Structure 1
Amino acid sequence: DGSKWLAAKGQFLVHVKPLAALFRSKVRAGLRQLRLEREVASETWSKPWVVDCRPVGSGEAALKYLVPYIFRVALSNNRVVDVANDPVTFRYRVGDTKQTKTCTLSAEQFIARFLQHVLPKGFVKVRSFGLFRSGSRPLLATVRALLAATPVGCPVARIATAPAAHAQPSLHCPACGAVMEVTHIPRPTSRSPPV
């Protein structure tokens, strides 16, 4: 019901096969909503998908892996070998062998290929999703409160304070009616948290 934090047992969180099936269905639903499902070969949806959900530690290794994909362009200037009146020659690397080859295309073909890597207006490479999307702020606050909650059986130290001259009215929990206490005030950020 979302009212308490359920910790994972040991090093296990979720079975990979059901996670892969769920991910496949979420991708398909997203494409269907954007009316792009027909752009994907139909056999894609009947094949088993693979998800990689290994832990990445602090996330630094994942960032080092993702940053080049997020911030680089499709083709850097140093890979363009020759630009004559019409043909464009550029270097590329073959994925399997890592061998460098050259390709010569007409200017029109080159531009068509290059533009396949340009995002349409309104699309972004990285966006906040899940708990970090703007519509999930109340849920994110609940999750943060649950993670910061004192485990059952641990005494909470109380600090005696003098009553304030202009005391604010207390907030009450909408579920149980108990008086709510401020346990943490997050620092404001000027931009979305990293993904």
Structure 2
Amino acid sequence: MISLNAIIQRFGASYRTHCHGRLSVQQRRVISAIAACRTETLGGQVFTCPTCQTTRYSYHSCRNRHCPTCQQDAGAAWLADQQALLLPVPYFLVTFTVPAELRPIALTNQALLYAAMFRASAAALQQLAADPRHLGGQLGMLGIFQTWTRDLRYHPHIHYLIPGVGRTTDERIVFPPAPDFLLPVRPLAMIFRAKLRAALRQTAIAATIPSTAWEHDWVIDCRPVGTGETALKYLAPYIFRVAMSNNRIVSADETQVTFRYRHSASGENRTSTLPVETFLDRFVAHILPKGFVKVRYYGFFRTGVRASLRRIRAQLMLFRSHDLLDRAIPQPKLSAQTHQLSTCPACGSLMHGRQIVSSRTRAPPHGMHHPRSA
């Protein structure tokens, strides 16, 4: 299988040299990390079979959050950890986007715009939810930032996973007017636009934003996504998926890369073929600023108020004739860094392992083959 790691190992050095001026320090670091993932550069372990003397190498992973090889198992571990947040109510997925005029500004000012989008969208949700004409209480929200479309174009947006229940200031619980309705999206979009505009007016980039960005309607999507368990399973891939997964890459040669994607409007599976440099340009546009937190908790989901979440769950139990909270998703926590080769591929005997050091101090014996990435 052709992987993103293999493409970057093949073209990353020349791409970094040719495009050095337009790459951030963080983008150059990520390219280097993915190129080194599961190679002798990071060291690893060597396994030797005492029966037939077969030797295999297992190199360490880069653990970078933008590496598709390292992130493929992380979603299962996160999913298992979220069981404590589940509530027995319908859940909603609310998606905030910004208009096309703001996207070039966001691309060149990522840390500023991304943080402002989070603050404005979360505040807009809570403000509208607090209005007694709609819900009349505080929401619990799990927010996930994402920057790509299925064909790898730049499109920053935020998904919020929200249970259909609110908490009032006097600790009562309130519900939306219908199981398939949370909040009206038109006023929500207006509040979000106003809050983001006010925030950006206080920054140095205010003068660079076209006035047309604020003159038309903004788009927000709000849809029911079933139970908490269903919603978490749906959302887990969004949290740990990177812009390009390995299984989507169809082919790559010296000049171009072809990958598959699902067309949003038609639902059809399609392919896109891009020059190598354009493909890498699109990928690096989705590398997040260093230290940026892409998953955030708000309202009664915040870590410091989990006691309130327990009270809300207890109150909900009074409204239910049976317990929907006793859920368990048996997903093992896996780590790419601790991947082991314990059985000899030649004779089936148990192999003996020992640590090997990074190639910065000592390279593996000449002529040994790299193991295939999982």
- Which stretch has the larger CA shift, 119-128 or 140-149? 140-149
The answer (yes or no) to whether the contact 2:262–2:269 under 8 Å persists in 1 is yes
SS of aligned partner of 2:252:
strand
CA distance in 2, matches of 1:27, 1:147: 33
CA distance in 2, matches of 1:147, 1:124: 27
The answer (yes or no) to whether the contact 1:80–1:88 under 8 Å persists in 2 is no
Deviation at 1:141, TM superposition (A): 4.5
Paired residue for 1:63, among 232, 236, 257?
A: 232
CA distance in 1, matches of 2:290, 2:190: 31
Unaligned runs of 5+ in 1: 150-195
Q: Show the counterpart of 2:253.
A: 83
Deviations 1:107-161 (A, max 9, x none): 4333222101111101132122333345xx35x6457657757xxxxxxxxxxxx
Deviation at 1:102, TM superposition (A): 3.7
Pairwise CA RMSD of aligned residues? Answer: 3.8
Q: How many residues align?
A: 144
Deviations 1:55-110 (A, max 9, x none): 434223333332222222222334140232xx2322233624425234131x4333
After TM superposition, the structure 1 = structure 2 runs for residues 1-195 of structure 1, keeping only pairs within 5 Å, are 2-5=169-172, 7-8=174-175, 10-11=177-178, 14-28=183-197, 42-78=211-247, 79-84=249-254, 87-93=255-261, 95=263, 96-97=265-266, 98-105=268-275, 107-133=276-302, 137=304, 141=307, 145=311
- Relative to structure 1, the CA distance from residue 111 to residue 17 in structure 2 (aligned partners, 3 Å threshold; closer, same or farther) is closer
Unaligned runs of 5+ in 2: 1-167, 316-374
The one-letter code of the counterpart of 1:119 is L
SS of aligned partner of 1:81:
strand
- Relative to structure 1, the CA distance from residue 31 to residue 66 in structure 2 (aligned partners, 3 Å threshold; closer, same or farther) is farther
State the structure with bigger RCO (CA 8 A, min sep 6), 1 or 2: 2
CA distance in 1, matches of 2:287, 2:172: 41
The one-letter code of the counterpart of 1:74 is A
Deviation at 1:43, TM superposition (A): 2.9
More helix by share: 2
The answer (yes or no) to whether the contact 2:261–2:269 under 8 Å persists in 1 is yes
- Relative to structure 1, the CA distance from residue 60 to residue 108 in structure 2 (aligned partners, 3 Å threshold; closer, same or farther) is same
The one-letter code of the counterpart of 2:174 is A
SS of aligned partner of 2:297:
coil
Deviation at 1:13, TM superposition (A): 5.6
- Which stretch has the larger CA shift, 50-59 or 31-40? 31-40
The answer (yes or no) to whether the contact 2:261–2:270 under 8 Å persists in 1 is yes
Deviation at 1:29, TM superposition (A): 5.0
The one-letter code of the counterpart of 1:113 is R
The one-letter code of the counterpart of 2:260 is Y
The answer (yes or no) to whether the contact 2:173–2:312 under 8 Å persists in 1 is no
SS of aligned partner of 1:128:
strand
Deviations 1:34-66 (A, max 9, x none): 766677654333322343444434223333332
SS of aligned partner of 1:19:
helix
- Relative to structure 1, the CA distance from residue 108 to residue 13 in structure 2 (aligned partners, 3 Å threshold; closer, same or farther) is closer
CA distance in 1, matches of 2:215, 2:207: 14
Deviation at 1:31, TM superposition (A): 5.4
* Larger radius of gyration between Structure 1 and Structure 2: 1
CA distance in 1, matches of 2:176, 2:261: 44
The answer (yes or no) to whether the contact 1:94–1:100 under 8 Å persists in 2 is yes
State percent identity of aligned pairs: 43
SS of aligned partner of 1:127:
strand
